Structure 1
Amino acid sequence: MSPLDMIDEILDILRRRWGLIVRVTLLLIAVAAVLALNTPRTFEALEVIQIERPVVSEDTVEGVGAVSSARLLQTIEQRLFTRESVLEVAEQEQLFADAPGLSEDDRVALVRGAVSLNAVAAAREGYGDDGTISVVRIWAVWSDGETARDLAHIFATKTLDLSASQRLETAQQSLDFFKLQEEKLNGEISAVEDERETFRNENILAIAGSIESLRSEISTINTRMFELDQQILTAQGEIEQINSADRTSEVAKLRAQIQTEALQDDIARLEKQKSALQDNKTDLEAALARVPVVERRLSDYDRSLTQLQNELNVVSARRREAETAYALEAQDHGGRLTVIEAATVPEYPTGRSRKTTVALGLIAGLIIGGGLALLLEILHPVIRTSGQMTRRLGLTPVVTIPSVGEAGRRNDWRRNKQPPLGTL
């Protein structure tokens, strides 16, 4: 079959089945029109927020920008879409005034599905991702354009307010934490200093001098005790000499007794001095034995104090940074959020328009109608022309007899267009 013959047959089918095609097309156009009318129209509004960098750089004040904007935005989004916040917005905007019987769960689900936040990451510095966000897009989709705009604006305003309050709250919490840490470390340092001073006072002898000085004092005491022993022995020898002497007169005996008593008093005095020196020597020896323990304990105290003081210095520096960060946030000099594109009332609804839906129905009707016409021709094949007989049967008709009937007699124009009853 040549292309021209195929075109002729297609045109012939269309002439015979144009009524079916038109009916199917009109039916699908009607269906598409009903769908287009019943499909709710939705409008989409957009508000764009830019996250500005802090006025004071993060290298100058480490406390500023300690929380990444990605984490901050995540926290804000969680607070934005809480049940209470969503219901408050729905009540404020009277979103469901036409559906009073709608449950709170359905209202919350509809609002959450209608509003979305989309964050755009900032350009990276180096190879690391610091979680910095440059732009936040807030989309709102609703059946009314003004309501969609109001929703986008309300959630954008809430985002700005929550960002400011969240950053200020974070700065306040950091400042309070470092203040508590500073007070705690000061208390620990005072406690260690008091404990060290008490221990030092209890072991004053072991701290008064070094080991050499203690040994020197003990040596001096030993020398002094040796001298006292010599004096005691000398006095005892004198007493023995006095007692061994033969005295007959009473005066001599009385004089000897007086000398003996004086020497005994000297011996008692020397013994007392020796006992005092012995006690002092015992204390010094005990202190000398405790010197390593005391020095080690004092070294532990000093090491603890040094460590606590270093921690205090770090915490004090962080506390000053937190104070600076809090002051910057309180003065709105931190990383701020600014609306760079306010939401407007959308002019056209989103999605497919009604005209497009009807046009698709028209195209579908033509395609389906043509398909049905072709299917009917395939299911009921009829040889209508001599060309078809030649192509299909390989026979060339000699005479073509037109179809004659009552209807043909009544309508000449229709009779002339009837296909032949048969061919020979």
Structure 2
Amino acid sequence: MGKIQSFDELFGMLIRRRLMIALIALVGIIATVLQLSTKAPVFESTAVIQVQTPTITAPTASGAAAPHENSGQRLQAIQQQLTTRENMQAVIARHNLYSGLPLTSDQKVHILRQSLRFQTVASAAAASFGQPAEVSALLISAQANTRAEATNVANDFAQGVLVAGAEDQKARALEAQTFFQQEQRNLKELIMAKEAEIAQFQSEHLSALPTQRAILQIELTGLETELRSLNQTLVGLRNERGAIERKTNLRATDKRQVATLSAQIETISAQSDALQTRRSEIVDILSQAQVIDRTLAEFDRDLDQLQAQYEVATRRSADAETAAKLQNGDQGETFTLLEAAIEPDYPISGGKRKLVLVGAFASLIIGLIVAFVLEHLRPVLRTQRQLERELDLRPIIAIPELRKSDLTLKQQRT
């Protein structure tokens, strides 16, 4: 036969295949019941942790509010710490989980990780531009085959979040305070070392310092003036001695005068040499002025940079100390157990009656599909209408199907 094209043909097929459809549905129902009888129920319990914002905001040295770490990032870090292999194995040992199952340690850890769910609830407060949204609550859900195990595991991880949150905040604040205090001490030592280096350099080049160069310049001007005067005096004495020496006959007075002039020339020449030496020293010192100024400028820049870093470290050290005091006084960002996990009333896997109904419906659908397939695999023309539709022929006579129960006793004998 062809495709079923009327309700009569559909009803006829259902009547003919009713036993097979009923058998498939019965087998499906029995298989569903057997599966449900061997499957353990799954319970889920949830604990809720509230993220409380700081009651007092730690100000910076400039008076502005100090930035704090995003609560979502903190919770993510704590979640990673709690779901490590060592912590998972500790939870399994504390609550004696999966004790009756032939599982390895890695398999137990994997099952426990799959049964946990951490869900954050975003805060209603608007986040700053470019900053992730803050978290107002954390939901920790745990699944297990018993109510008690699901509740105990959820509360265990909730307590772990509370403890890790408190310890992590205090540890971070103390670590920041210690770091900036040590940085402050290191910078102070560097500043003292740089100041000592500058003082030593200035003592080694005392005469070339900018404050001394003006005095040297005045001294150099005086020396040059005095040298010119001495040179003029020497020229006059030498000319005078030369004029006496050019005489043909030198008298005794001339000789005494030449000796006197020679002694004066020698004395003035010695004075001129001494002044010339001092002048050379001053010129050498003044020629080093650019190198000295450049070196002192580099020292000043290094010292200014160290002092700026020291001021920043001092401010941050004060901020970290204030943050540590707030954490010790439980006035910073804290986690609070808003709702502890309780034993659930019903399993999340659903009621057995509903699952049996679903299995029965699925089995009935499978039976109908099998009936349709068998009808198409074995086509038979069963009615006058099917014959006319498939062969385009009108039958002369149609003999109805006669059941034995429809015949009379006489007809059955003949």
- TM-score between both structures, scaled by the size of structure 1: 0.76
Give 1:89 deviation, angstroms.
0.6
CA distance in 1, matches of 2:13, 2:217: 132
Contact persistence 1:203–1:287 (CA under 8 A) = no
Aligned-partner Cα distance in 1 for 2:407–2:186: 109
Partner residue in 1 for 2:75 = 73
What residue in structure 1 maps to residue 340 of structure 2? 342
Correspondence 1:20-419 to 2 at 5 A: 20-57=20-57, 66-99=68-101, 101-123=102-124, 124-207=126-209, 209=211, 211-225=213-227, 246=252, 276-369=274-367, 379=378, 388-389=383-384, 403-404=403-404, 415-416=405-406
Report deviation, 1:109.
Answer: 0.9
Aligned AA (1:304) = D
Once the two structures are TM-superposed, the CA of residue 184 in structure 1 deviates from its matched residue by 2.6
CA deviation vs aligned residue, 1:325-362 (integer Å, no higher than 9, x gap): 22222322221111222211111101232111211232
Indicate the percent of aligned positions where both proteins have the same amino acid: 26
Q: Distance in 2 between matches of 1:113 and 1:350?
A: 15
Q: Distance in 1 between matches of 2:41 and 2:133?
A: 37
Q: Is the contact between residue 206 and residue 212 of structure 2 (CA under 8 Å) also seen in structure 1?
A: no
The answer to whether the 8 A contact 1:56-1:334 is kept is yes
- From the superposition, tell whether residues 390 and 153 of structure 1 become closer, same or farther in structure 2 (CA, over 3 Å): closer
Q: Is the 8 A contact 2:89 2:109 kept in 1?
A: yes
How far apart, CA to CA, are the structure 2 residues paired with 1:341 and 1:102? 33
> Hey, what's the Cα distance between the residues in 2 that align with 1:196 and 1:73?
51
Looking at structure 1, the residues matched to 313 and 144 of structure 2 have their Cα atoms a distance apart, in angstroms, of: 51
- Asked if 2 retains the 8 angstrom alpha-carbon contact of 1:63 and 1:321, the reply is no
Please state how far the C-alpha of 1:194 moved relative to its aligned partner: 1.4
SS at match of 1:139: strand
| Preserved contact between residue 205 and residue 284 of structure 1 (Cα < 8 Å) | no
Q: Cα deviations across residues 126-154 of structure 1 (Å, max 9, x unaligned)?
A: 54233532222111011011110111111
What secondary structure is seen at the aligned counterpart in 2 of 1:318?
Answer: helix
- The separation in 2 between residues aligned to 1:374 and 1:154, in whole angstroms, is 55
- What per-residue deviation string (whole Å, max 9, x for no partner) do you get for residues 256-315 of structure 1? 89xx89x95x88876665555444333322222222221222122112211221122112
- Total equivalences in the alignment: 391
Q: Which runs of 5+ in 1 are unaligned?
A: 1-5, 248-252, 405-414
Q: Quote the offset at 1:368 in angstroms.
A: 4.2
Partner amino acid, structure 1, of 2:115: A
Alignment CA distance shift 1:48-1:397 (3 Å): same
Q: How far apart in 1 are the matches of 2:9 and 2:312?
A: 94
More divergent stretch after superposition (61-70 vs 116-125): 61-70
Q: Distance in 1 between matches of 2:280 and 2:316?
A: 53
Q: Which runs of 5+ in 2 are unaligned?
A: 1-5, 245-249, 389-393
Q: In the alignment, is the contact (CA less than 8 A) between 1:44 and 1:349 conserved in 2?
A: yes
Q: Counterpart amino acid of 1:161?
A: V
What's the secondary structure of 2:252's corresponding residue? Answer: coil
Shift of 1:64: 5.4
Letter in 2 for 1:181: E
**In structure 2, distance between residues paired with 1:269 and 1:377:** 146
Aligned residues: CA RMSD: 4.1
Kept in 1: contact 2:71–2:135 (CA 8 A)? yes
| Distance of 2:75 and 2:369 partners within structure 1 | 55
Deviates more, 1:113-122 or 1:16-25: 16-25
Once residues 340 and 42 of structure 1 are traced to their aligned partners in structure 2, the CA distance between those partners, rounded to angstroms, is: 25
Task: For 1:377 and 1:221, locate their aligned partners in 2 and report how far apart those are by CA, in whole Å.
Answer: 133
Partner of 1:408: none
For 2:123, the aligned partner's letter is A
Instruction: Give me the whole-angstrom Cα distance separating, in 1, the residues matched to 2:401 and 2:233.
Output: 176
Contact kept? 1:49, 1:156, Cα under 8 Å: yes
Compare 86-95 and 171-180 and name the one that shifted more. Answer: 171-180
| Aligned partner of residue 209 in structure 2, secondary structure | helix
How far the C-alpha of 1:90 sits from its partner, in A, is 0.5
Quote the offset at 1:210 in angstroms: 5.8
Distance 1:62 1:336, change over 3 A: farther
Structure 1 CA distance, aligned partners of 2:185 and 2:53? 33
Q: Secondary structure at the match of 1:51?
A: strand
| TM-score, length of structure 2 as denominator length | 0.78
